[in-house]
Structure 1
């Protein structure tokens, strides 16, 4: 019979093996994703792909320098000064490239929240019964618009729209600043400074900042969740750990109501909690605290939704789309299809919609051979998800006339005369992010099989990106859905470049 010491050693070994297996799986997956993405990027901006190896080679020489930066610089102060400048410019860009037409779901929620603020009525209840995923963000936006209306009584739809742009920019800036702080916790001020700069230079973030919608709100909540988890794993054992886990659960409940894909980080953290090198009592206690705080937070979110949008169960049953709708739509060409929406609407109950969707899913799966299915899921859908360096930002900006008419629109709209310049930059930037993510995965599998606390936020980020990749494979896919995960992608890329630098400097010393 094994003694307790042998049992603990076995548990530790099993956790290390699971940790290493997860790293290897992520490495293989990110390698495939990078190849697929580059095959698409080279068709869209060939010159950027030619420049990419040159830039990587330049980074190599930069890393081989004796001294990369001045030690006497106060990186924290410099970063915040730079952030103020960039934040002002972000607001300027957001207001300069704003669209005039309230299109897609973002525009629908803006109009409905404005209507409710001004009239205390919601006309299109059908939309929110059909898409319950937008209900909580509608409630938040309504609360925000009421604050704006209280301060500025003469507001109308256009003024609310302008205020929402400011809200989107504030959420984006907050995400960047919090990501910088996470990097400080994981590494140090110097490395965090470069992480912050990498994030500020992410052009799709600037173009999405104007949209006060679930993508940007979800991104902020994702960073809040990652921050709480990082504080929990890096804090000294005690009550602070459980407080941070409690806050993580609350943030996760809000994230689940705003953008359900953010919940993938919740699952990733749950897996990381199980891999912690602590006693099972502490692990179970942590999981229970997260579960309870999530449950309470989720209940409060549901209460808010039911108070602002009182919809009867029979009404929701007649209009709500089942999850099978998006799986069915994913089996078309991979993205949104109005024909599929019309098909699901044609049935008058939730169960009938679900049954019809399942039949259509089976039909579409049978229509493809094994080879066609493999190509569709393994390549076509991945290209649609990972193959757009702009993350669909320029596509959405081109949906309506730009207001006001200025030179910036020539850079950021598909038909703009200078669009190729922005595409070149974003493709080169995105290529570097993919290279960094690959390096992160590569050096992770080279490290000793030891799940240290400081490695867990990066490991959780890797699982999260793996999760969203798998989710996009079976769901309606769109590169816009990656906007939420930009901070995590940058964090992983930074981890890869830092690991590469340490490796190169170590080899030079040898």
Structure 2
């Protein structure tokens, strides 16, 4: 098949994906509205969604389109961050909890290793059962051992402060990525929109693997932008290695990070040439090579006696099985069921039998109902499960906790607000999908944002299959909000008749010749 034929197939697949993406998140919106407890709740959520949609659009217009006297410079951004940091610090300490559940197991082990000046893990059963938490344990232990040199022993406060720093670093990197694409004003808007997201505050006392990968997620995004822009081969090689290593670090903290690398592989295949494809291949080699080196180093360290691995480790089928019980989250009965079998293979066989049985029992209509409940449980919670986590073993009390915890006196009002924000973002995801279709149909371009859409859609599909809850969206929030901003830009640029996101100029992100018909460039940089 000739190049024109291949390009035509790519274009068709690109359009089909964006149709699917837009339909999916439109469907998600209707599902989360449908699953409200009463018609009154549905009306309230529609009103809340409409209000926050208008508020977000007004904020964008005020910063980007109006002739406001709002100064856009480093000083302004610094002041915004300083204010947000103070809010984070105050509320983070007011919402302190004693670490429990998985978070507590890792915290307790890290503290024990620090106090005992040891590197030999004592809670062998837990870390063999859930090896995904081993790297986070190393990270937290290294932090606490470093702080112990300075005789700092308030481990919970240190964890919260570290979480704040990592969260804010991730927002700085996000600003840099947005600035590279759309200019300084859009970077400030992205920052302010992120400030509206409750997770950047309510997850601060929960310094766990939901937030620790955030800087790595945004680093991956920024590196991918730089790779698509760069032409120097030596620099491309270095950026490719850095990208693979960043994915490795993120993957060891939260396995879903690897979805971003898969999205990059698909995206570069569709829109770029051989050189960029080779760079992503280098990233893949760096990723797998880093995993091999890390696994070898960890096993050689003898931190963990893995002779009982076959007895305690849970197979991947366990989480698929749990995901098939409504509403799709953690289930203690499934936990005990898998635990009851003596070997990993026996656990796997029992899980597979349960998976087949549950699918057969549900049938087609039952499966649709189950998936609807699971989507609502995952995407319909604007507090991202923090309302439940902040209720467990609180170390402080006060009005703030009464607002943000599930059984707090003012939680119902808070829930309407945060869900309204979340549902508005979901609608903007759907609009961004339409933007991708518009760009290929009217301008003949495959856009950069399709990489981020692929990542978000990959997460959506994965969480349909896996055990799920809304907290699993937290480390993907920068990507979700990035796509939402693209939806906002499409609304305004189409209204004003601007040729959306494809105007070429000497300072564009991606130069002609790097992709199909010259890879799409940034919108005209009137705000740079």
Q: TM-score, normalised by structure 1?
A: 0.90
- Considering fraction of residues, name the structure with more helix: 1
For residue 503 of structure 1, report the CA deviation from its aligned partner. Answer: 1.0
- CA contact 2:52–2:421 (8 Å) conserved in 1: no
Q: Is 1:358 matched with 2:356?
A: no
Distance 1:339 1:177, change over 3 A: same
* Between 492-501 and 304-313, the greater mean CA deviation after superposition: 304-313
How many angstroms does 1:160 deviate by? 1.3
- Which residue of 250, 266, 286 maps to 2:245? 250
> 2:263 and 2:305 mapped to 1: Cα distance?
35
Q: Give 1:59 deviation, angstroms.
A: 6.0
> Deviation per CA, 1:139-192, whole angstroms, max 9, x where unpaired?
111111100111116x2xxx1121111111111111111111111111111111
> Which residue number in structure 1 is paired with residue 49 of structure 2?
52
- Using the TM superposition, give the Cα deviation of residue 243 of structure 1 relative to its aligned residue in structure 2, in angstroms: 2.0
Structure 1 counterpart of 2:384: 391
2:455 matched residue in structure 1: 464
What pairs with 1:407-418 in structure 2 (closer than 5 Å)? 407-418=399-410
Distance change in 2, residues 1:284/1:374 (3 Å)? same
- Would the aligned equivalents of 2:374 and 2:464 in 1 still touch at CA under 8 Å? yes
Please tell me the root mean square deviation across aligned C-alpha atoms, in Å.
2.4
Q: How does 1:3-22 map to 2 (within 5 A)?
A: 7-22=2-17
Alignment-derived partner of residue 400 in structure 1: 393
> 1:429-508, aligned counterparts within 5 Å?
429-449=421-441, 455-456=447-448, 458-506=449-497
1:267 counterpart (251, 262, 274)? 262
Distance 1:414 1:312, change over 3 A: closer
Within 5 Å, which residues of 2 pair with 1:203-282?
203-278=198-273, 280=274, 282=275
Q: Are 1:193 and 2:193 matched, yes or no?
A: no
Q: Matched residue of 1:294: which SS? A: helix
Q: Deviations over 1:9-65 (max 9, x none)?
A: 333333333322222221121111122123345855753421432454566677788
SS at match of 2:97: coil
SS in 2 for 1:270: helix
- Is the 8 Å Cα contact of residues 97 and 409 (structure 1) preserved in structure 2? yes
2:84 to 83, 86, 89: 86
CA distance, structure 2, for counterparts of residue 434 and residue 20 of structure 1:
20
Contact 1:381–1:473 (CA under 8 A) maintained in structure 2: yes
Q: How big is the shift at 1:288?
A: 2.8
Deviation for aligned residue 1:343? 1.1
Is 1:370 matched with 2:364? Answer: yes
CA shift in 2, pair 1:161/1:355, >3 Å: same
Confirm or deny: 8 A CA contact 1:384 1:478 kept in the other structure: yes
Alignment of 1:3-152 (within 5 A): 7-40=2-35, 46-57=43-54, 67-70=65-68, 73-100=71-98, 102-119=99-116, 120=118, 121-152=120-151
Against the structure 1 CA distance between its residues 124 and 64, is the aligned structure 2 distance closer, same or farther, given a 3 Å change threshold? closer
Deviation at 1:109, TM superposition (A): 0.5
User: Offset at 1:304?
Assistant: 4.6
Cα distance change on mapping 1:61 and 1:84 into 2, 3 Å: closer
What SS does the corresponding residue of 1:481 show, helix, strand or coil?
A: helix
The answer for unaligned runs of 5 or more in structure 2 is: 499-528
Once residues 482 and 387 of structure 1 are traced to their aligned partners in structure 2, the CA distance between those partners, rounded to angstroms, is 11
Cα deviation for residue 276 of structure 1 reads 2.7
Structure 2 length-normalised TM: 0.87
Say yes or no: does 1:285 pair with 2:305.
no
The Cα shift of 1:496 comes to 0.5
Q: How far did residue 248 of structure 1 move? A: 0.7
Alignment check: 8 A CA contact 2:11 2:440 kept: no
- Distance across 1 between alignment mates of 2:61 and 2:79: 28
Q: How many Å apart are 1:376 and its aligned residue?
A: 1.1
Query: What secondary structure does 1:211 align onto?
Result: coil
Which is further off, 301-310 or 494-503?
A: 301-310
- 8 Å CA contact 2:72–2:188 kept in 1: the answer is no
- Asked if the contact 2:23/2:430 (under 8 Å) is kept, the reply is no
Superposed CA deviations along residues 332-382 of structure 1, whole A, max 9, x for unmatched, are 2211111111111111111111111111111222222221112212x1111
User: Is contact 1:245–1:290 with CA below 8 Å preserved after alignment?
Assistant: yes
Distance apart, 1:303 and its partner CA:
3.8
Q: Which residue of 2 aligns with 1:332?
A: 325
Alpha-carbon spacing, 1:60–1:329, altered in 2? closer, same or farther (3 Å) = closer
Unaligned runs of at least 5 residues, structure 1: none
CA distance in 2, matches of 1:42, 1:352: 40
Q: What is the CA-CA distance between 1:306 and the residue it aligns to?
A: 2.7
Distance in 1, Cα, partners of 2:102 & 2:61 = 48
Q: Check whether the contact 1:232–1:242 (CA below 8 A) recurs between aligned residues.
A: no
Query: How many positions carry a matched residue from both structures?
Result: 492
Cα distance in 2 for partners of 1:284, 1:490 equals 27
